[in-house]
C-alpha cells in the first residue's frame, strides 16, 4: 500500500459553485446551481478530456448549525445514476428526484441540498502512473415550495468581538436563502474595510452563519455599517456590536 501511494498522488480540488460554468479540462458540471419546483431536476456531466472518465454523485441535505455549514446524509433527494462513465466530448444526464413525504409535502418555502460530484481517479482504459488530478464539485440545489411566491430573506448583522478576534454573525429569519458577496465594513470614518472581494457564503432560511474576520478586532470596536451584494443586489445595513461573554 505504501509503495503504491509513493508512486501515485491524488490531489482533490474542492470546487465551490460560483455563478459561472463549472468546468475543467476533464469533468464538467452544469448548471452550477439548481432550483427544483417540480418532482425532479437535471444536472449534466460533461467530459472535456481525451479519455474516459468516471464520476460518483452523492446528495446531502445542507443545513447550518452553530454558525457553520453542515452536510447530512439524506434520502429525500436521489441522484440517478449514482455512478457514471462519460466518454470524450460526451454528456451524461443526472436526474435529481424528490422522494418521500418530507420532500413532496414541504411546509417550508425552501429546502437546501448539496450535490457532490467526484471525479474518480484513473482512466479505466489506461494503466495509471504519476500524478493524477481529480475534481470535486459541490452544487447547491434548492427545493422550492410553489405556494411561496414572494419569499424573502430577512437578515440581521452583528459583529462579535472575543479578545483579539472578531466574528461576523448573520442571522436569516426569512424564508429564502441569502447569498453574500463583495462584503465590506464601513466604520464611522467612512473608510471601507474589505471582508470579501467575492463570494463570502450563504445564509440559509431560519439559520445563522458565522464568519471569522481576519482584520484586528479593534477595526470593528466602534461599530459601523455593512455593505454587501445580497442575491446580486448591493445593499447597506447597520451592524450591531457585541462583546463575547467570558
Residues 8-29 pLDDT 10s: 333 333 444 433 445 456 899 9
| pLDDT tens, position by position, 30-54 | 999 999 998 999 999 999 888 899 9
| Whole-number pLDDT of residue 245 | 53
Place of cell 475534481: 135
Q: What span, in angstroms and rounded, lies between the C-alpha atoms of 121 and 138?
A: 17
| pLDDT tens, position by position, 136-165 | 999 999 999 989 989 999 999 999 999 999
Binned at pLDDT 50, 70 and 90, residue 103 comes out as low
45's CB contacts (< 8 A; 6+ apart) are 27, 28, 29, 55, 57, 84, 86, 91, 92, 93, 94, 117
Over residues 89-105, the mean pLDDT reads 86
| Whole-number pLDDT of residue 78 | 95
Instruction: Give CA torsion, residues 19, 20, 22, 28, to 10 deg.
Output: 130
pTM: 0.84
Polymer length of the chain: 246
Instruction: Check residues 12 and 198 and name the one with the higher pLDDT.
Output: 198
Q: What span, in angstroms and rounded, lies between the C-alpha atoms of 193 and 212?
A: 14
Instruction: State the average pLDDT for the chain.
Output: 86
| pLDDT tens, position by position, 114-131 | 999 999 987 655 555 555
Distances in whole angstroms, Cα of residue 112 to Cα of each of 50, 59, 77, 79, 160: 35, 11, 10, 15, 27
Over residues 106-110, the mean pLDDT reads 91
| Whole-number pLDDT of residue 10 | 34
pLDDT at 186 over 70: yes
| Whole-number pLDDT of residue 24 | 53
The answer to whether domain 8-144 has CATH 2.60.40.10 is yes
Say if strands 83-86 and 155-162 run parallel, antiparallel, or are unpaired: unpaired
Q: Indicate the CATH number for domain 155-241.
A: 2.60.40
Place of cell 440545489: 141
Q: What span, in angstroms and rounded, lies between the C-alpha atoms of 158 and 160?
A: 6
Domain ranges of the chain: 8-144, 155-241
pLDDT at 2 over 60: no
Binned at pLDDT 50, 70 and 90, residue 133 comes out as low
Amino acid at each position: 500500500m505504501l509503495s503504491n501511494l509513493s508512486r501515485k498522488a491524488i490531489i482533490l480540488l474542492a470546487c465551490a459553485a460560483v455563478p459561472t460554468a463549472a468546468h475543467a479540462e476533464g469533468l464538467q458540471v452544469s448548471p452550477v446551481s439548481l432550483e427544483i419546483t417540480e418532482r425532479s431536476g437535471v444536472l449534466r456531466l460533461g467530459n472535456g478530456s481525451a479519455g474516459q472518465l468516471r464520476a460518483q454523485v452523492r446528495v446531502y441535505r445542507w443545513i447550518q448549525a452553530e454558525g457553520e455549514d453542515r452536510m447530512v446524509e439524506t434520502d429525500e433527494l436521489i441522484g440517478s445514476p449514482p455512478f457514471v462513465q462519460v466518454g470524450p466530448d460526451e454528456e451524461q444526464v443526472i436526474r435529481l428526484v424528490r422522494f418521500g413525504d418530507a420532500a413532496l409535502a414541504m411546509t417550508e418555502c425552501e429546502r437546501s441540498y448539496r450535490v457532490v460530484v467526484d471525479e474518480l481517479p484513473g482512466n479505466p482504459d489506461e494503466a495509471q502512473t504519476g500524478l493524477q488530478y481529480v475534481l470535486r464539485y459541490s452544487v447547491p440545489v434548492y427545493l422550492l415550495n410553489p405556494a411561496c411566491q414572494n419569499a424573502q430573506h430577512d437578515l440581521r448583522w452583528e459583529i462579535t468581538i472575543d479578545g483579539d478576534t472578531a466574528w461576523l454573525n448573520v442571522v436569516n429569519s426569512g424564508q429564502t436563502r441569502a447569498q453574500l458577496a463583495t462584503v465590506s465594513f464601513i466604520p464611522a470614518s467612512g473608510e471601507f474595510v474589505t471582508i470579501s472581494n467575492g463570494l463570502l457564503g450563504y445564509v440559509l432560511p431560519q439559520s445563522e452563519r458565522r464568519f471569522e474576520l481576519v482584520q484586528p478586532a479593534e477595526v470593528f470596536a466602534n461599530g459601523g455599517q455593512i455593505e454587501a451584494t445580497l442575491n446580486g443586489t448591493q445593499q447597506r445595513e447597520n451592524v450591531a456590536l457585541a462583546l463575547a461573554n467570558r
